[in-house]
Amino acid sequence: MPLKVAVVGCGGIGNTHGPIYKKHPLAELVGYCDIIPEKATKSAERDGVKHWPSVQAMLQDVGGELEAVSICSAGADNGGDHYTPTMECLEAGLHVLGEKPISNSVEHAREMVAKAQEKGVYYGINLNHRFTPPASKAKEWMKEGRLGTPLLCNMTMWIDNPNESSPWFHIRALHPHSLDVMRFFCGNARKVQAFFNHAPKADGPDGKRVCWSNAQVNILFENGVVGHLTGSYDTNTAHNLERCEVMGTDGRFVLDNCFEELTFYPRRSMELTVIKNSIMGGISGFGETFDKRINRWLEQVTAKVPREEIEASGEDGLAVQEIIEAAISSWEGNCVVDLTAAG
């Protein structure tokens, strides 16, 4: 039986999740919900499903039959609105696939993860950048020991985004993705240190952007890997969105542009392995990372896997949020933040 699913929040991203469910054999799209009723109506009419002006109205109408929701609200730092609808849906016993960032508040993120645990439901986050065939291949190489002992991880993620809604919009809204890819390969972070700057802006305060639009973050992982994230809102995605490099005692890989190309550089030979996404039956464009991620979510929920096996889980979303808040604390406090000592 396909999983009965609704989408909460009908902006561009809710309207990406919905049609993926609509065509997926493991899902039955029941309807759309938005506190701006016309947005829910428009999406629902397009897809021939129900619509509701609030989560409460949705639960009253179809709470008994619904099994899962995508929460695609946004809010401050693109995550401030997730808490209320997520808690309402978790409380009602629904499985939740939330958008990233899990929240702009680490306290709210902890509460949502705890609520999902308490209710025994699945909680996933749309950390879609790790759901690509080259990323899976690189992870396989690491498991096989092809890199030897992992030592270094360098990650770059940058886009052109003029958003000035908050000083921390860049690190909180964009870098759940980059930090999740780093954690995917290197595990949990132990210590974090960061520097930020603002790009020049003629009409900004002191001639600069409000947003800390460039970040350099150092991370010591629990397994001893030393990692570095370079992030920016002041460059052009067209020249490359992201690059992840992991080096070990026996070689290193470079994962280029999230899904496009994976190269292995062995330490003791010149024989490279180059894998192009097109020959892995992979992804034709960034949008398909959503299909891959939602497909995996549906497979895992349908198969009733143990909760701790959910890939890109609420716990993973919380872990990257903890790194982000540590980076902010490091910059504001001029210190290295030890995550193992955090409360």
Ligand X SMILES: NC(=O)c1ccc[n+]([C@@H]2O[C@H](COP(=O)([O-])OP(=O)(O)OC[C@H]3O[C@@H](n4cnc5c(N)ncnc54)[C@H](O)[C@@H]3O)[C@@H](O)[C@H]2O)c1
Instruction: Decide: is 312 part of the binding site for ligand X (CB under 6 A).
Output: no
Q: Build a one-symbol-per-residue string for 7-46: x at contacts with ligand X by CB under 6 A, - elsewhere.
A: -xxxxxxx------------------xxxx--x-------
Minimum gap (Å) between residue 10 Cβ and ligand X = 5
SS3 per residue for 264-313: EEECCCCCCEEEEHHHHCCCCCCCHHHHHHHHHHHHHHHCCCCHHHCCCE
Site for ligand X (CB under 6 A): which residue of 5, 6, 20, 72? 72
Instruction: Decide: is 248 part of the binding site for ligand X (CB under 6 A).
Output: no
Site for ligand X (CB under 6 A): which residue of 67, 99, 322, 325? 99
- Scored b (16 or more CB within 10 A) or e, 213-238 reads bbbbbbbbbeeebebebbbbbbbeee
The tokens for 343 are 């409360």
Residue 35: CA count within 13 A, CB half-sphere: 11
Instruction: Decide: is 55 part of the binding site for ligand X (CB under 6 A).
Output: yes
Contact (CB, 8 A) for 21 and 294:
yes
Instruction: Decide: is 105 part of the binding site for ligand X (CB under 6 A).
Output: no
Within 137-289, strands assigned E span: 150-158, 189-197, 214-221, 226-232, 242-248, 251-256, 261-266, 273-276
Minimum gap (Å) between residue 124 Cβ and ligand X = 12
d(Cα 4, Cα 15) in Å, to the nearest integer?
17
Contact (CB, 8 A) for 238 and 141:
no
Instruction: Decide: is 84 part of the binding site for ligand X (CB under 6 A).
Output: yes
Site for ligand X (CB under 6 A): which residue of 79, 124, 133, 282? 79
Of 86 and 277, which has the nearer Cβ to ligand X?
Answer: 86
Q: Which residues in 140-199 contact ligand X (CB under 6 A)?
A: 173
Of 39 and 198, which has the nearer Cβ to ligand X?
Answer: 39
Contact (CB, 8 A) for 134 and 259:
yes
Minimum gap (Å) between residue 148 Cβ and ligand X = 32
Site for ligand X (CB under 6 A): which residue of 43, 128, 132, 300? 128
Of 92 and 225, which has the nearer Cβ to ligand X?
Answer: 92
Q: Which residues pair with 125 in a beta bridge?
A: 98
Of 12 and 306, which has the nearer Cβ to ligand X?
Answer: 12
Instruction: Please report, as ranges, the residues that interact with ligand X according to CB under 6 A.
Output: 8-14, 33-36, 39, 55, 72-74, 78-79, 81, 84-85, 99-100, 126, 128, 173
